[in-house]
Amino acid sequence: MCGIVGYTGPQSASVPLIAGLKRLEYRGYDSAGIALGTAGKLFVEKKAGKLSNLESALDSSLPSVHSGIGHTRWATHGGPTDQNAHPHLDNEGKLAVIHNGIIENYTELRIALEAKGHKFSSQTDTESVAHLLSDLRKEHQGDLTKAMRDAVKVLRGSFTLLAIHADKPEEIVGVRRNSPLVVGVGTGENFMASDVSAFIEYTKQAIELGQDEIVTMDPTSVVITDLDGKTIKPKTYEISWDATAAEKGGFSHFMLKEIFEQPKAVADTLIGRLSDNNQILLDELHMSKQEIQSLKKITVIACGTAYHAGLVAKYAIEKWAKIPVEVEIASEFRYRDPIIDSTTLVIAISQSGETMDTLMAVRHAKSAGARVLAICNTNSSTIPRESDAVLYTHAGPEIAVASTKALLTQIIAVYLIGLHLAQANGSLSDQQVHEIYNELLELPGKIEQILETVEPLRELTRKFAKNDTVLFLGRNIGYPVALEGALKLKELAYIHAEGFAGGELKHGPIALIDQGTPVIAILPAGKEHALDEKMLSNIQEVKARGARVIVIAEEGVVVEGAEHVITIPVVRPIFQPILATVPLQVFAYEMAVARGNDVDQPRNLAKSVTVE
């Protein structure tokens, strides 16, 4: 969602603010703006559209000041216009606010504030906060921190807020509730942002903020207090990413770079996870063998691409650990009275750790007595902090909105969990685990093989650029792969794409097949359950109705009736999603490029969905 940056220090503030906003462009936005801390009255500029529109408006008359706040907005209340762009000001033009999230009670606040004489100039929920803070600050004789503390007690919803005032321009005050905010601590300068990538060019020292914690910073200090005004000792950590990891590195798009980073991401997530005596090392789970053996079921909660990782988890954990697994769309989970208790392990999967639907599902699960394990790629984000345990993946920063390497590392994480649970249950021997783990270690090299031979696929994809429908078929563990392939194509190419279980074809979906309809089929690995033969029959069914069939199959497999066969290395069937997903990522990427779409920032989408 929205990108937020605050800076105070010796630099000309516009430089780190614009640099930070550029690094946050991946989050998705439709307008941008900054407020600079000039004494007497703030300098504000904001523009609808891309960040370049804002930069063009910031001419040579830009004041050289040393503090400010910047924002990229993803519209919720009010359309993407100059007027609705952030920052929003009070009527004196001295107090500016930027905001990520939703203020649920903004209408009643606006009515009350208008009754007191405040004039509104936008349709946003955020502007009500600027006017509210202005009044509260006057009540507290100019203390913006106390004003923010009182404002938060009034506000309902999920939000991150940053505020600055012209009477004390070097000071920035922020707060978070169910929405991301992190502090960057530099030498004689400090930062706030919705993501560490905004300031990793300047510092790697960060402070995590808890729920409803107020942070007040100037160039030399950072003070964190709770809603009662009590000072809280900061929880600091060092950022492991570097600035170059968030840059394209010679690739035309972040997404393409991240596709090619997948071998390393998978290897990094696997490293050091098997002991000398063949035990899977997952100390992060904080569960004894007895606690694992007492589990009656596992529930996976996730959204979007992470949900597909959860579907793979079901196959792997049930196969290896013999524990029943349910997979739930997080946004639906808490609204159907799910049956969970202390014998349930809930696995919450989120790349950012800030996905609001998943966070609320986590809270519901914990309130019901379940133990929650998070799988996350972002250190110290909200979902890991509120879970009982966390298994971090090591994908590094993922900038493109459409997830690639995060998905593969999530799948690796659920494989490791499945093996760990299986060892505790005794359903797999140590020798079996050793053999499976060694095969996992071979996957990065096999992904490399696919990427080394990807150019013909990119060329092939361009031939389908004018098609308006593409269908994906999979069986067994290939079904989540089909769903992911369809999702990626919808996200990037903006065309109708659906993923189906192969056996469901005759139950309705086959009616979609027309002359020339592209169908991508994932042929099951090996001969397990004779599903390869069933999928081959599905291929003949769609071929007979005029489909153009593309098949993803293991090396050496001959598929009669396929127009194109994309080969992947031979693997254990349960590992096929790691390899079969990669060509589908490339297919979606190339389709988007061929259709002239914005690959890294698809329309209407945001990287981190921080509202329900």
Q: Residue 511: name the closest of 524, 498, 493, 520 by CA.
A: 498
Q: How buried is 170 (Cβ within 10 angstroms: 0-12 exposed, 13-18 middle, 19+ buried)?
A: middle
2, 46, 303, 490: the active-site residue: 2
Determine contact, residues 487/403, Cβ cutoff 8 Å. Answer: no
Task: Give the integer Cα–Cα distance in Å for 112 and 379.
Answer: 40
> CATH topology for 443-601?
Rossmann fold (3.40.50)
Q: How much is the pLDDT for 223? A: 97
Residues of the chain with pLDDT under 70: 1, 27-28, 60-61, 241-246, 526-530, 608, 610-612
Outline which parts of the chain fall under CATH 3.60.20.10: 3-246
Active site residue 2: yes
Q: How far apart are CA 504 and CA 391, in angstroms?
A: 35
> Looking at the chain, which residues constitute the CATH 3.40.50.10490 domain(s)?
248-441, 443-601
**Closest Cα partner for 167 from 67, 99, 87?**
67
Chain segment 31-48, per-residue pLDDT in tens:
999 999 988 889 999 999
pLDDT attached to residue 163: 97
Topology (CATH) of 248-441: Rossmann fold (3.40.50)
Catalytic residue among 94, 405, 446, 607: 607
- Summarised one tens digit per residue, pLDDT across range 533-549 is 888 888 888 888 989 99
CATH homologous superfamily of 3-246 equals Aminohydrolase, N-terminal nucleophile (Ntn) domain (3.60.20.10)
Residue 77 is predicted with a pLDDT of 82
Q: pLDDT value at position 175? A: 96
- The rounded mean pLDDT for the chain is 92
Strand ranges of the sheet holding 3-8, from the earlier edge strand across to the other edge: 43-48, 31-36, 67-73, 3-8, 190-193, 182-185, 205-208, 235-238
Report the predicted TM-score, pTM, of the whole model to 2 decimal places. 0.77
